[in-house]
Amino acid sequence: MSSTPLAPAAAGTLAVEAARRRTFAIISHPDAGKTTLTEKLLLYAGALGGAEAGAVKARAGRRDSTSDWMELERTRGISVSSTVLRFEHEGHVFNLLDTPGHKDFSEDTLRVLSAVDAAVMLIDAAKGVEPQTLRLFEVARARRIPLLTFVNKYDRPGMEPLEVLDHLATTLELEAVPLNWPVGLPGAFQGVIDRESGLFHRFTRTAGGARVAPEQILRAGDADDDPEWARAREELELLDAVADDFDPDAFRDGSATALFFGSAVSNFGVGPLLSALVRLAPAPSPRREVDAAGEPNGARELDAPFAGLVFKVQANMDPRHRDRIAFVRVCSGRFERGMRVVNGRTGRTLAMAHAHEVFGRERALMEEAFPGDVVGVVGAQDLRVGDTLYLDVPARFPAIPSLAPEFFVFVRNRDSARYKQFRRGLEQLDEEGVVHVLRREAAGDPVPVLAGVGRLQFEVAVNRMENEFGARVGLDEAPWTVARRTEPGDVPTIREATGAEVLVRADGTQLAVFRSEFVLQRLERDHPELTLDRLLTR
């Protein structure tokens, strides 16, 4: 393929297609209703093909959650892995990157946030901003990701709307601008008033929220005899008098959020949120590049030759095929199936022949894709999280950060006859970022160490080792409680400290680990010149 600029017609097509893309994630605390909201957005977009929300028909009559495809997710009732859901609505192509809500899987969410252009922050109306929501919000703010905030479970008792505004301003130091307003107190939710049109959208419940809820639209005067309508109008008049109007620029730079009220399980307010994603969520824009040292190096324009970022690697999504899929966010140019691209990390050429459009664990061949799309590259064994792929003109995107682990265990193979499976399974889980697999090279200890942000990561690792690789493993507690990334030159000093050790990741990253926070603080005090970073990279 040529590196010459696209022909005018082709360039025009690329610009139009990029403008149709909306690539976003949903971030929340566990149990805020993220998986339910994901399913309801698909329902309202018509992406479930007639299936009820919360279930899609699969082979042999099975009904599986669209986004929670892993067996452990269904048995535990939590999301432990991000998934990609691609669908169309109102002439736009959505790439919804569903993320784990549990704090133990924060690293997976960090990887997803490196690939989106916007996010929906989901908040429980009764609980408000919870710790995991706050943690993810801080990441989104640092990346200046535009946020739409959905106050969920408004059909249950919770904070009144004016309380919600005050809570968000106090907790997040974020200006929240309501684009709709609830009619009815929490627990007696009737619908929402669209602030721009002034129309009252009155919702009717459906059995189990499985179908799109019937909606009655009333104009001013049609509902004047309803006391809850009158109350909502008074609140809006007060809001109009004291609050600023919605500022698109403040929204785009992440300093203000568009606020919506609803109940995902009852389908209240889901439609307005989906329409707002069409109107407000930004289309893809030129992506920042860095040089070999990681320093800013301009931006890659959308019409530059193809470049993409590998933000996730997942094996065995379909146990019938036992394959491996790398998720690539298209950042510039047009992707065409079969094209040969270069992996910037290795310099090797890769033929993108097995490229798929992804919808949960379902997939179909993808012939072409445009900026904002996510391509599933099947069987690419050399691809790692954070790799940049490019055609003709080299590209390098910023490294994807990961969090310093806080929990450590030794992992032992319990079946010597299956050592190859044990080794291959650990390599796979490390490459995917399920856990960090570390080794004590200086001590000559062959027993690997698993490290993670939370203990549930170890449960996932053990489950997948046994079910996908046929390797039975045992875990023993390791003595460390805190870790920091360090540099090779600092290793001798760290190893001299009592209660400190240095472990090595497969990619060569040096990880200083400590038996307590006190040991770390003492080392930082005595040797301020040492590199001890909280964030790692992949």
Q: Is 117 annotated as a binding residue?
A: no
Q: Is 312 annotated as a binding residue?
A: no
Distance CA 448, CA 470 (A): 18
Distance CA 469, CA 398 (A): 33
Distance CA 508, CA 405 (A): 16
Q: Is 98 annotated as a binding residue?
A: yes
3-state secondary structure of 516: coil
Distance CA 177, CA 459 (A): 41
Phi/psi for 370 (5° steps) reads -130, 170
3-state secondary structure of 330: strand
Q: Is 321 annotated as a binding residue?
A: no
Q: Is 68 annotated as a binding residue?
A: no
Q: Is 420 annotated as a binding residue?
A: no
Q: Is 296 annotated as a binding residue?
A: no
Strand order in the sheet with 215-218: 180-183, 191-194, 200-203, 215-218
Distance CA 240, CA 237 (A): 5
Q: Is 29 annotated as a binding residue?
A: yes
Q: Report which residue type is found at 161.
A: P
User: In sequence order, what E strands does 179-306 have?
Assistant: 180-183, 191-194, 200-203, 215-218, 256-261, 287-290, 296-300
Q: Is 153 annotated as a binding residue?
A: yes
Q: Is 166 annotated as a binding residue?
A: no
Which of 164, 187, 391 is closest to 260 using CA atoms? 164
Distance CA 286, CA 296 (A): 13
Q: Is 33 annotated as a binding residue?
A: yes
Distance CA 399, CA 393 (A): 19
Q: Is residue 482 within a helix (H) or strand (E), and if so which, with residue range? A: strand 482-486
Q: Report which residue type is found at 65.
A: S
Residue 51 burial (CB < 10 Å; 0-12/13-18/19+)? middle
Lookup: tokens for 461: 């690792």
R_g of the chain, CA atoms, integer Å: 24
Q: Is 28 annotated as a binding residue?
A: yes
Q: Is 114 annotated as a binding residue?
A: no
Which residue positions form the known binding site for GTP?
A: 28-35, 98-102, 152-155
Which residue positions form the known binding site?
A: 28-35, 98-102, 152-155
